[in-house]
Structure 1
Amino acid sequence: MTDEMAVEVEDLRRVYRVKSGERIALDSISFDVSQGELFGILGPNGAGKTTLVRILSTLLHPTSGTARVLGVDVGRGERQLRRRIGILFGGERGLYTRVTARQNLRYFAGLYGIPRKVADPRIEELLHHVKLDDRADEKVEAYSRGMKQRLHLARVLVHDPEIIFLDEPTIGLDPIVAREVRGLITELPQRGKTVVLTSHYMFEAEALCSRVMVVDSGTVVALDTPQALRQGHPDMACIDVDLLESTQDAEERVRRLVNGEGSVSTHVEGERQVLTVQSPRGADLVPELQQVLADCRLGVVAVREPTLEDVYVRLISEGRRRRDTATEAEQAIPTTEKVSR
């Protein structure tokens, strides 16, 4: 491992045995993370994000390839490495709810063999840092979900790890609490920590991470800074159409209009249904778009620059189309020819 690298991954594979045969969760992934970096891993459900974090945090062995964290091979140095890393998975599991926050932190400090004279001042500092010092002696069962997540973060830090793995740390939190947790996360590199973060939220990754890696179906789709990923698609203008009332086949009609030169998706924002078209034609497409949707009641039609989420949707969509095309081509090969191969 070089002095600058906290994580080095090369040709990492993980294959699960299932009833139907094998399922490839990670397929020859390679990347690295610099010390002190806040690195994001993005991808849809089932993309391999959690599997990757579990391997890097020594909870799961790879099928093949190598992964080194802080210079230690994750498959051979579990005991050595676990004292130097912290892990936070989304959800509420991992805390003892019938005792207080302070008692939780003392217990976990004890598991790492931290002397009481060292642990107690650190616990007080952490409780203050996560804004739980005024509730530290209440039982955790009375805490809100946001308070539990802040306590989780204090638990992760109690043994002063060098690298922290955060798997969907704001999932299920209300927007105000999620913002508080994100604020705590941004401070971790300032405390000398390397952070590897998985998330479904593109705006979160864009706000927090110095670099992001997009994965899908166990492969790396893209890896760069959020800004570079946005700038790497200069041909992609986005058109947002407010659908106040629409027909069932509105999205399909727009897909036929775009004809493969872009992507089309529909999502709900509050009480609005928004159809988003990504196309190199940009504003030139708007008149044709309005004509195709002439029988729908439309609100605002706006052309804008792409966000990281727009780029993400394009990367995932294009990757899946390529895989579908490859699968169809493979299925079209006669069985005798496959055997001869």
Structure 2
Amino acid sequence: MTIEIEDLSRTFAGQRGGAAVEALRGITLTIADGEIFGMLGPNGAGKTTLVRILSTLLTPTTGAARVAGMDVVHEANAVRRRIGVAFGGERGLYDRLSARDNLRFAGQLYGVHPRRLRTRIDELLETVGLADKAGVRVETFSRGMKQRLHIARALIHDPQILFLDEPSSGLDPVASRALRGLVAELRRQGRTILLTTHSMVEADELCDRVSVIVQGSVRRLGTPERLKSEVDLGRVLEVETYDDPTPAIRLIEQMPSVSTVDCIPGGEVERLVIRLAVGSDTTIADVLSRMPDHRFGRAFDRRPTLEDAYVSIIEADA
């Protein structure tokens, strides 16, 4: 296995004499060569803490972790040479330098040979779609362009293991799709990728397996399809309405077959997501009969998604 995690825990001292915080609680995982492994979970669940331990930026309180066969504590320098890390956000790049100069500086830090470095920079800028921006200052880049440059920076020394911590955070749909295409290409190159994300589309489309981490512990682990099948989910109905949905929500919630009703705001159109009990034969027509005075958009019946499974797991843990 490329990554082996055994009974890993991390506790942070409380601030100003407060209680200690258990960020990780006995996590055990293995990640195989060439796998895209996703970590899902709410903010504060421990995902970034785990990435920081695996990338040798933090030490565990108890337990052990090995990356490429090496202990992240006792062989930290050797681990760093074999991994690339890209944290989401604006930090880590030099805005007044060009894309090329940012990569040149990173390559020098990693000790990439100067002759190889010139070629490597050109390869990476082409891979991440920034070849035409090589000489442009990073301060002019969009957030999506910066995220792609972050990934190029993480790859400068050609590591086989890549940690991506919420790489699509804050990106618009077009930039997010481009980023997913880039990650898929990196996987085709044979790299092992650990991906933390809040995007269920990203996790469902890219990941071979995903884990759901809640309060520092793994609550679910498996392929996206397995998670969707294991969680006790009924069908899902969706209805778009142009009117205030509050009265309709009250009436729909009274239907015996309805488990939950969520309202997703969308400007002029509100989207009602209606989760049905397992085995329910309730139809769209049944739901619309509770909303006779509403103006509708689309209304449809669909299979549960990874997002539905994730929400169900989180709500069951609350």
| Cα separation, 2, equivalents of 1:41 and 1:249 | 38
Picking from 176, 179, 182, the partner of 1:181 is 179
| Cα separation, 1, equivalents of 2:176 and 2:240 | 28
Is residue 2:64 matched to residue 1:66? Answer: yes
- 1:161 aligned partner, one-letter code: P
Aligned residue for 1:7? 3
Alignment of structure 1 residues 231-270 onto 2, 5 Å: 231-233=229-231, 235-246=233-244, 248=246, 251=249, 254-255=252-253, 257=255, 262-269=259-266
Is residue 2:212 matched to residue 1:208? Answer: no
Secondary structure (helix, strand or coil) at the match of 2:13 reads strand
Gaps of 5+ in 1: 321-341
| Cα separation, 1, equivalents of 2:281 and 2:243 | 22
Is residue 2:269 matched to residue 1:272? Answer: yes
Question: Could you tell me whether the CA contact under 8 Å between 1:12 and 1:67 is conserved in 2?
Answer: yes
Give the CA RMSD over aligned residues: 2.3
> In the TM superposition, what is the alpha-carbon distance from 1:270 to its structure 2 partner?
5.0
> In the TM superposition, what is the alpha-carbon distance from 1:40 to its structure 2 partner?
0.6
Gaps of 5+ in 2: none
**Where in structure 1 do 4 or more consecutive aligned residues deviate above 3 Å?**
246-259, 261-264, 285-291, 293-296
Question: Could you tell me whether the CA contact under 8 Å between 2:262 and 2:273 is conserved in 1?
Answer: yes
- 2:136 aligned partner, one-letter code: E
- 1:69 aligned partner, one-letter code: V
Is residue 2:20 matched to residue 1:31? Answer: no
Taking structure 1 as the reference length, the TM-score comes to 0.84
> In the TM superposition, what is the alpha-carbon distance from 1:204 to its structure 2 partner?
0.9
Picking from 82, 85, 92, the partner of 1:84 is 82
Q: As a proportion of its length, which structure holds more helix?
A: 1
Question: Could you tell me whether the CA contact under 8 Å between 1:239 and 1:282 is conserved in 2?
Answer: no
> In the TM superposition, what is the alpha-carbon distance from 1:119 to its structure 2 partner?
1.1
Question: Could you tell me whether the CA contact under 8 Å between 1:221 and 1:316 is conserved in 2?
Answer: no
Identity level (%): 44
Aligned residue for 2:282? 284
Aligned residue for 2:147? 149
Alignment of structure 1 residues 80-119 onto 2, 5 Å: 80-119=78-117
> In the TM superposition, what is the alpha-carbon distance from 1:297 to its structure 2 partner?
2.3
Question: Could you tell me whether the CA contact under 8 Å between 2:34 and 2:187 is conserved in 1?
Answer: yes
1:209-259 deviation per Cα after TM superposition (whole angstroms, max 9, x unaligned): 111111112121211111222233475211223343346475466556459
| Cα separation, 2, equivalents of 1:11 and 1:32 | 11
- 2:2 aligned partner, one-letter code: A
| Cα separation, 1, equivalents of 2:255 and 2:13 | 43
User: Are residues 65 and 252 of structure 1, via their aligned partners in 2, closer, same or farther at CA, if it must alter by over 3 Å?
Assistant: farther
Aligned residue for 1:222? 220
Question: Could you tell me whether the CA contact under 8 Å between 2:242 and 2:268 is conserved in 1?
Answer: no
Question: Could you tell me whether the CA contact under 8 Å between 1:90 and 1:171 is conserved in 2?
Answer: yes
User: Are residues 258 and 23 of structure 1, via their aligned partners in 2, closer, same or farther at CA, if it must alter by over 3 Å?
Assistant: farther
